[in-house]
Amino acid sequence: MNSDFKYHISRRDLLVAGAGLAVSASLPPARASTVDERSIKIAPGQTRLGGSDRPSTAVWAYNSAVPGPKLRLRQGRSVRITVENGLDEDTTVHWHGIRLPNAMDGVPGLTQPPIKPGETFVYEFTPPDAGTFWYHPHTDSLVQLGRGLAGPLIVDEAEPVLVDRDLLWLLQDWRLAADGQIAGGFGGAMDASMSGRVGNAVTINGRAPADLGVRTGERVRLRLVNAALARMMALRFEGHRPIVVAIDGQPCDPHEPENGRLLLAPAMRIDIALDMQGDPGSRHAVIDDFYGGLAYTLTNLAYDKVSPLRAHPLDASVGLPRNPLPEPDLANAMHHEIVLQGGMMGGGKLAGVGGMPGMGMPGMNGGAAWAINGMSMTGDGHAGMAPQFTLERGASCHLTMRNETAWWHPMHVHGFSLSVLSRNGAPVPHRQWQDTVLMAPKDVIECAFVADNPGDWMLHCHVADHQMAGLMTVFRVK
Ligand code: C2O
Ligand code: CU
Ligand code: CU
């Protein structure tokens, strides 16, 4: 018999064992101990985006950190998160991508009253899906996100996935003035009706990127989160072959991205498996070349000079276990269509935006520059927004999204994950589920989901300026 055995029996085990079944039956239900507790305080703070030797920048922060603390939850295990608002303005927290009860979704006016300065709100939910998610405000979104409020949220698989390291890059994009402070002028008409507030400084986990030290032979799971207001990214890992294993938290068939480029629009997440096959001592650039002519090196993979961790890549599969997503019934699905309209057209003309008679200067002072099916819902999605369409609970919905504008839009749906069926008529190959679908100008996307979660849910572009200026709507599941 194992001589260590006795050390593994706790006093409580002995008590229960000694008293027999009657006692275990009368024990209080285990439920109370299965809720994780977290707390988040939101307040103004300071951070050194450029590194410890650089001047600090005034930001708004979750628990004094930019990005906010990495929340690590367990699939199927409840969490209670107490949020305290130490700002001078209302806020809410939205748990982006988590399929949770509507009342926990964090949309002010629509799913909860805003959290007033000095007040707290308790969010409670049980994440059904493992994967990479994030959290951010849904109140004064452009300014609050732009001042730094964003944090990563990881839901761990029930069974750990075999990798050597699990890393996360939360990418933020800042528009900094010469003095290193966040530039004002949020919500200007140019940003609103064009590409949104693209900044001039990209950070990884709140810092100007330094090289990432890696070791030959190791396998890294790298979770990429684009938490920028507007900056689209297309990442290339020179000399490497990243394998996409999940998109927006949802596992997909493992595959190499087209042309080795990972298209990562605001609010999207991509998990990659990266086998480090460079030579010890070598250095490889990670390049973002989304905007033609404006490519830059985001960071470098810097190999240790030590001997390889292993001679051959790990031969375990990189695939992740599927999440329990309901499969839509396409034969009996309700069809709905979302048409994106507005924005600046060629020649500096603003496209007509329907439903706004007598509109003077679109996009100015919180006015509408965009519309969905002729309606512009501006701001953060407050009360009084009539649902664009209503679905019976349990029905399958086949949704067509049509981008009639000249701009890119990462379209995000709350409360659900969309099974992406096709893009411009061509089937999408890797069985991907997404909560944020990037649409190129003129793209047409077909997707589907099961309306299994009742409530009023937002559907909007995640370029914060576009959302604020009308590229947003709501649908109802009853
Ligand atoms: Cu990431 Cu409406 O949210
Ligand atoms: Cu969301
Ligand atoms: Cu947009």
Q: What is the 138 CA–ligand 1 centroid distance (Å)? A: 7
Q: What is the 445 CA–ligand 1 centroid distance (Å)? A: 19
Distance CA 187, CA 365 (A): 7
Any atom of ligand 1 within 6 Å of the Cβ of 147: no
**Shortest CA distance to 70 belongs to which of 167, 164, 145?**
167
Smallest-distance ligand from the CA of 342: 3
**Shortest CA distance to 173 belongs to which of 147, 212, 193, 152?**
147
Question: What local confidence, expressed as pLDDT, does residue 395 receive?
Answer: 98
Please write the tens of the pLDDT for every residue from 81-91. 999 999 999 99
CATH class of 165-303: mainly beta
User: For the stretch 332-356, what's the b/e string if a residue is b when 16 or more beta carbons lie within 10 angstroms of its beta carbon?
Assistant: ebeebebbbbbbbeeeeebbebbeb
Q: What is the 330 CA–ligand 1 centroid distance (Å)? A: 26
**pLDDT band at 58; cut points 50, 70, 90:** very high
Q: Is the pLDDT at 476 greater than 80, yes or no?
A: yes
Any atom of ligand 1 within 6 Å of the Cβ of 458: yes
Question: Which pair of structure tokens corresponds to residue 27?
Answer: 């024990």
Question: Which pair of structure tokens corresponds to residue 452?
Answer: 């299994």
Q: Euclidean distance between the first and final Cα of the chain, in Å?
A: 59
The 8-class DSSP code of residue 230 comes to S
**pLDDT band at 352; cut points 50, 70, 90:** low
Report the DSSP pairing between strands 262-264 and 418-423.
unpaired
* Nearest atom (ligand 1) to Cα of 436: 1
Smallest-distance ligand from the CA of 414: 2
Q: Whose CA is nearest to atom 3 of ligand 1?
A: 96
Q: What is the 245 CA–ligand 1 centroid distance (Å)? A: 23
* Nearest atom (ligand 1) to Cα of 458: 2
* Nearest atom (ligand 1) to Cα of 381: 2
Torsion angle defined by CA atoms of residues 459, 464, 469 and 473, in that order, rounded to the nearest 10 degrees: 10
| Sequential DSSP letters for 309-370 | S-SS---S----PPP-PPPP-GGGPEEEEEEEEESB-GGGPBPP-TT-TT--STTSTT--SE
User: For the stretch 446-463, what's the b/e string if a residue is b when 16 or more beta carbons lie within 10 angstroms of its beta carbon?
Assistant: bbbbbbbbbbbbbbbbbb
Any atom of ligand 1 within 6 Å of the Cβ of 412: yes
Any atom of ligand 1 within 6 Å of the Cβ of 269: no
CA angle 417, 377, 437 (to 5 degrees): 25
Q: Whose CA is nearest to atom 1 of ligand 1?
A: 96
Segment 143-162 shows an average pLDDT of: 96
* 3-state secondary structure at position 17: helix
Question: What local confidence, expressed as pLDDT, does residue 380 receive?
Answer: 72
- Domain 22-156 in CATH 3.40.50.300: no
Helices assigned H by DSSP within 85-188: 141-146
Segment 170-179 shows an average pLDDT of: 96
Q: Is the pLDDT at 390 greater than 70, yes or no?
A: yes
Please write the tens of the pLDDT for every residue from 330-346. 999 999 999 999 998 76
Q: What is the 407 CA–ligand 3 centroid distance (Å)? A: 7
Question: What local confidence, expressed as pLDDT, does residue 76 receive?
Answer: 95
* Nearest atom (ligand 1) to Cα of 136: 1
Please write the tens of the pLDDT for every residue from 397-407. 999 999 999 99
CATH of domain 330-477: 2.60.40.420
Our measurement of the distance from residue 32's CA atom to the centroid of its chain's CA atoms, rounded to an integer in Å, reads 30
* 3-state secondary structure at position 129: coil
Smallest-distance ligand from the CA of 138: 1
Average per-residue pLDDT for the chain: 90
**Shortest CA distance to 419 belongs to which of 226, 251, 234?**
251
Q: Is the pLDDT at 381 greater than 70, yes or no?
A: no
Contacts with 163 (C-beta within 8 Å, 6 or more apart), sequence order: 219, 220, 221, 273, 314
Q: What is the 410 CA–ligand 3 centroid distance (Å)? A: 6
Q: What is the 462 CA–ligand 1 centroid distance (Å)? A: 6
Omega within 30 of 0 (cis) for the link into 67: yes
Distance CA 233, CA 244 (A): 15
**pLDDT band at 132; cut points 50, 70, 90:** very high
Q: Is the pLDDT at 365 greater than 60, yes or no?
A: no
Q: What is the 414 CA–ligand 2 centroid distance (Å)? A: 5
Any atom of ligand 1 within 6 Å of the Cβ of 138: yes
Any atom of ligand 1 within 6 Å of the Cβ of 466: no
Distance CA 262, CA 438 (A): 12
How many C-beta neighbours within 10 Å does residue 153 have? 27
* 3-state secondary structure at position 98: coil
Q: How would you list the strands of the sheet with 151-156, edge to edge? A: 71-74, 151-156, 131-136, 94-96
Any atom of ligand 1 within 6 Å of the Cβ of 96: yes
Which residues in the chain are classed under CATH 2.60.40.420? 22-156, 165-303, 330-477
**Shortest CA distance to 434 belongs to which of 446, 459, 416?**
416
Question: What local confidence, expressed as pLDDT, does residue 206 receive?
Answer: 98
